[in-house]
Structure 1
Amino acid sequence: MKITEIKSCFVGPLISPEQFIAEHFFLFLAKGEMNGYDGNKHYKLTPGESCIIRKNRLARYNKVKDNNEFEKVIFIFDEAFLKSFQKKHNILFQNYDSDDAFIRLKRDQLIESFLLSLEPYYQNSGSIDKTFSDVKREELLLILLQLHPALSDVLFDFGIPGRLDLEKFMQQNYKFNVSMERFAFLTGRSLSAFKRDFKTIFNETPNRWLIKRRLQEARFLIEEKKLRPTDIYMDLGFEDLSHFSFAFKKEFGITTTEISGKYH
């Protein structure tokens, strides 16, 4: 069996599909292509590559199928599992520091052999029986820590985000479609403190400011970059095209079609 013939597999507790990453997870791509964005950098994963996606980060990623196929392996390293692991093993810290939400892992025979060893445990659902899943998660984590010792500083940091520069954070992350509670948490504030500080800095409510900021960027992309509304609305945090179009017309008094029609 070749590494590119691996079928999709998911090990660990379920994770939310929202753009806030609630738990660390390992992702290996067998078929297709994945593009990621964390508000600061763009990332690309191709077949045979793997990465760690970090918790308490905002991240967006999309998949590109290859011949209508997209196969990935995901292992969730949730906090309960990591604390249990830490009790059993001696964890050495490396003083590693990085803000990247996606940590690319080097290709190695140990990882490839591990992934191939999963095949006998697969169930029809693409999951691994609970009897073996924690054992395999532990095995993978031991391999990753041997290959990338600095991951200990990432995975075993159980603290919560500290207080950040609110204006800088929001200007960098306004495109992410997450709740105010998530934004407050990530900037090290209670929801009430977040709203109070936001009003002081922006003289606007968070919801209203987010919509206006996203629409300003949308107008810039349509007018200056000649992009189509259908290509940008989701990346700007709007859930559907009709809501985006309605908000745009309300804000600027002109439709996206009228603006884009000048250039296309």
Structure 2
Amino acid sequence: MKFTDIKSCYIGPTISPEQFVQEHMFLFLAKGSIDGYDGNKHYVLHPGEACVVRKNHLARYHKNKENNAFEKVVIIFDEVFLKAFQARHAFSLQTYFGKEAFIKFPPAELIHNFIHSLTPYFTEEGKLHQSFADIKREELLLILLQLNPALAGVFFDFGVPGKIDLEAFMQKNYKFNVSIERFAYLSGRSLSAFKRDFKEIFQQTPSRWLTGRRLDEAKFLIEKDLKRPSDIYVELGFEDLSHFSFAFKKQFGYAPTALLLKSK
């Protein structure tokens, strides 16, 4: 089935583009490719493939154009919508044991047919008619639960993260560019408890430790693997190259580009 006529669209409440997933998100790729990472493994999404990105996870993805084109369909399943859906439909809940942030679907005609069914509801401006948004969200959620009933344990789990091993959590996720408040929430702590426990474990404030840990990793990647600063700063949680270069020089006394030239 071809997807040359599919337009990018976004259905559901607006969410922040940060690397913390606030609400469950369905992602279908029509053109281009997507590289995703959740702290455990890397994922690749090709045209015609779909996945669910789970809430309360750290995740980032990089989009790649193909023939200068990139088209995707994003549908948000927020908690308000899911609770209303659950009240209307009876699904047997079961515990979902997977830890991954990206849950990929094998090729499915039901999903492809749904994506094509969106086309008649686009306005002349290329946007989906808002009056049909919740109807189409409900239709998609029914499809996903039919394809994988175990996802009921994902979508209808409205609990909050429990308290976990803080040191292991931070060592695994320090590269994600999210706020201290997000790290605290995902570790199952209030902000004050997070800062207190963090200081006891690392003997530093979270901000100072995160910057130092990211810069140490950057130095290793440049010195040992000859990585270019422009290729690694985003993956290490820095928002822009100039900020990364400034912090690196302040930490080590020389610019990252100078280290790269010296290491070659």
Q: How does the TM-score come out when normalised to structure 2?
A: 0.97
- Cα distance per residue 1:187-207 (max 9 Å; x no partner): 010000000000000000000
Matched-pair contact (CA < 8 Å) for 1:11–1:127: no
Residues 117 and 208 (structure 1), Cα distance of their counterparts in 2 relative to 1, 3 Å cut: same
Residue 253 of structure 1: how far off its partner (Å)? 1.5
Residue 125 of structure 1: how far off its partner (Å)? 4.7
- Within a 5 Å distance, the mapping from 1:1-264 to structure 2 comes to 2-264=2-264
SS at structure 2 position matched to 1:7: coil
Q: How does the TM-score come out when normalised to structure 1?
A: 0.97
Residue 124 of structure 1: how far off its partner (Å)? 4.2
Paired AA for residue 45 in structure 1: L
Paired AA for residue 222 in structure 2: I
Residue 254 of structure 1: how far off its partner (Å)? 2.0
2:16 and 2:92 map into 1 onto residues whose CA distance is 30
Residues 125 and 210 (structure 1), Cα distance of their counterparts in 2 relative to 1, 3 Å cut: farther
Residue 65 of structure 1: how far off its partner (Å)? 0.2
2:237 and 2:170 map into 1 onto residues whose CA distance is 13
Residue 5 of structure 1: how far off its partner (Å)? 2.9
1:261 and 1:62 map into 2 onto residues whose CA distance is 28
- Cα distance per residue 1:31-58 (max 9 Å; x no partner): 0000000111100000000000000111
Paired AA for residue 242 in structure 1: S
- Aligned residue pairs total 264
Paired AA for residue 94 in structure 1: Q
1:234 and 1:125 map into 2 onto residues whose CA distance is 33
Paired AA for residue 136 in structure 2: K
1:12 and 1:126 map into 2 onto residues whose CA distance is 16
State, as a whole percentage, how many aligned pairs show the same letter: 64
Query: Runs of 5+ in structure 2 lacking a partner?
Result: none
SS at structure 2 position matched to 1:96: coil
Matched-pair contact (CA < 8 Å) for 2:3–2:31: no
Paired AA for residue 39 in structure 1: G
Residue 67 of structure 1: how far off its partner (Å)? 0.8
Compute the RMSD of aligned alpha carbons: 1.2
SS at structure 2 position matched to 1:230: helix
Answer with 100-109 or 118-127: which moved more.
118-127
2:124 and 2:105 map into 1 onto residues whose CA distance is 28
Paired AA for residue 146 in structure 1: Q
Answer with 246-255 or 189-198: which moved more.
246-255
Matched-pair contact (CA < 8 Å) for 1:10–1:73: yes
Moved over 6 A (4+): none
SS at structure 2 position matched to 1:95: coil
SS at structure 2 position matched to 1:52: strand
